[in-house]
Amino acid sequence: MGKLSLAKKKLLANEVWDELNIEFPDSACSLEKDSPERLAVRGILSAQCTDITVNKVCRVLFDKYPSMEDVLKADISDIESIIKPCGLHKAKAASVMDFARLYEEEWGREVPESREELMRCRGVGRKIANLIMGEIYEIPAVVVDTHCKRVMYRIGLTESTDPLKAEADLCKVFSEDKWIRLGHLAVDLGRRYCKSQRPDCKACPLASSCQRRGL
């Protein structure tokens, strides 16, 4: 396939937006959102882990340590053991502790709105910062996770599988008011049809517009 012009990509983006909204009308963040700080912790734990596991693990974590103050006072080895099912448990426990420290000692018990400030926390990269900004403060930002970068590349709305470049490409073709929901729709598409291995192009609602269908 050839690379699409920006104008064609914008037309394609409109089609994709309409189709995805018809297919997934209830699309939303699948991490539980009982408080901003807890959502941020779930975001940190979600790297290379399913949202179902993160939600399950966090019910245990927050049952034992309800506040960030409680988390900060906890023994890190206990946090490691609780979050073990999420994988990378040592690094993630250190990140959760760092988040609790910043939240309690530097951020005045508030989750900051600023990407730069959020990314001061260990384990919070651009993807998690975008998630927090969008889900807590409704600040437009596209969360380009593994599903989003794969499906948007296959559809032809980006030529890059680098998340930063893909995000920049998507921001050029979708208007700001679509950025938060776009990430959720892409995840739904990736989970149901456009799987990493053997995408189900025959059943996919984007089959007629996708630029790399059947690849």
Q: Please enumerate in sequence order all residues whose Cβ is within 8 A of that of 18, keeping only pairs 6 or more positions apart, or say none.
A: none
Nearer to ligand SF4 by C-beta: 92 or 147?
Answer: 147
The Cβ of residue 9 has, within 10 Å, a number of other Cβ atoms equal to: 23
Least distance between ligand SF4 and beta carbon 141 (Å)? 23
What are 172's two structure tokens? 């050029």
Least distance between ligand SF4 and beta carbon 173 (Å)? 16
**How many whole angstroms separate alpha carbon 53 and alpha carbon 67?**
20
Least distance between ligand SF4 and beta carbon 171 (Å)? 20
Contacting residues toward ligand SF4, per CB under 6 A: 151, 154-155, 193-194, 199-201, 204, 206-207, 210, 212-213
Closest CA to 21 of 159, 178, 196, 201: 178
Least distance between ligand SF4 and beta carbon 125 (Å)? 25
**How many whole angstroms separate alpha carbon 105 and alpha carbon 103?**
6
Nearer to ligand SF4 by C-beta: 13 or 86?
Answer: 13
The Cβ of residue 201 has, within 10 Å, a number of other Cβ atoms equal to: 16
Nearer to ligand SF4 by C-beta: 136 or 155?
Answer: 155
Nearer to ligand SF4 by C-beta: 43 or 199?
Answer: 199
Least distance between ligand SF4 and beta carbon 157 (Å)? 10
**How many whole angstroms separate alpha carbon 129 and alpha carbon 40?**
9
Residue 131 · residue 51 · CB < 8 Å: no
**How many whole angstroms separate alpha carbon 97 and alpha carbon 61?**
13
Nearer to ligand SF4 by C-beta: 111 or 210?
Answer: 210
